[in-house]
Amino acid sequence: MGLLAGALAVACLALVGPSAPGGGAPFARALPAYAVTEVVPNRVMTWNLCNPCEESNVDRAAEIATYAPQVVGLQEACEGDVRRIRDHLERLYGLVYHVEYGAVLQHWGRCGGAPWNPGGFGQAILSAAPMTDPVTVEYPDGGSEGRGYTAVTTRIGGRTVRVFNTHLAQRRQEAVRAEQADVLARAVAPHERALVLGDFNAVPDAPELAPLWAVAADTDPGCRPGGAGACEVTTDWHSKFDYVFLRGLVPQAHRVRPTPYSDHHLLHTDLRTA
């Protein structure tokens, strides 16, 4: 009997994943009065979901639905959670997104699943427009755990754009991040228009981000190396770690929105259209 109960528990975990509390709730969370009603075609967003944090995917979907970006880059993302977020966005809010997963780890501790078939963990891209030419590249050295970037081609504000989403190595691993930033910058450089989203685990002045500053600019025109005091913080510990880097694209406005569902804030920007 004990073996049967254990098998059933594992099966349930495989079905619901690590974000079971509220993860399958059938009711939409009421959105604030300032929420948009449909996808904003020139808006992009980056958000580190926080993992493991046991947050409800219904609440995560509601946070995204409030701003309804054309493109969303998620980090610390489990494939099962992203799938449920996408489903909640469509079923509860009428927002339809395509998804490209960028798992760099199969991690039972972070993402649940059966012990012999753990869930994929890494980054993901949601796009209201179809995506083509997807690639996921694992960095040669991930640091304390595997890290990488995912890239797709899609349309934002009527333009074709190459979109990158990444999560660089954890703090106190500056040399590792420097190598990762160099790999990413060399992938971004050939593109006339590129969008680079992610959690870079480094402040704007950090030397390891120099390769990216050489090929792209932050969405905040006042945020530059040497002027980090003007950069709006994006984490609960009052650091700017999250970026929307632009190459060949011009920002129109950006917002940083704290959220109770992650230790990273939501960062979204509207781009000038052609």
Res 3: pLDDT: 41
* Alpha helices per DSSP H over the chain: 2-16, 57-67, 79-93, 108-111, 174-188, 210-215
Q: How does residue 228 score in pLDDT terms, banded at 50, 70 and 90?
A: low
Cα distances (Å, whole numbers) of residue 139 to 177, 183, 187: 10, 8, 12
Q: How does residue 144 score in pLDDT terms, banded at 50, 70 and 90?
A: confident
Q: Is the pLDDT of residue 158 over 60?
A: yes
Distance in angstroms (rounded) separating the CA atoms of residues 90 and 56: 16
Question: Both tokens of residue 146?
Answer: 């595997």
Instruction: Find out whether 99 and 124 touch, Cβ atoms under 8 Å.
Output: yes
Q: Using alpha carbons, select from 29, 26, 79, 28 the residue that is nearest to residue 51.
A: 79
List all residues 6 or more positions away from 80 whose beta carbon is below 8 Å from its beta carbon.
17, 18, 19, 111, 112, 113, 119
pLDDT of 1-47, one tens digit each? 444 444 433 343 333 344 433 444 457 889 999 999 999 999 999 99
DSSP H helix total and E strand total for the chain: 6, 14
Can you tell me the mean pLDDT for 55-62?
96
Alpha carbon 145 to chain centroid, angstroms: 17
Q: How does residue 125 score in pLDDT terms, banded at 50, 70 and 90?
A: very high
Please, which residues bridge with residue 266 across strands? Answer: 257
pTM tops 0.85: yes
pLDDT of 191-202, one tens digit each? 999 999 999 999
Res 5: pLDDT: 42
Res 9: pLDDT: 39
Question: Both tokens of residue 9?
Answer: 């528990």
* Alpha helices per DSSP H over 138-198: 174-188
Res 116: pLDDT: 67
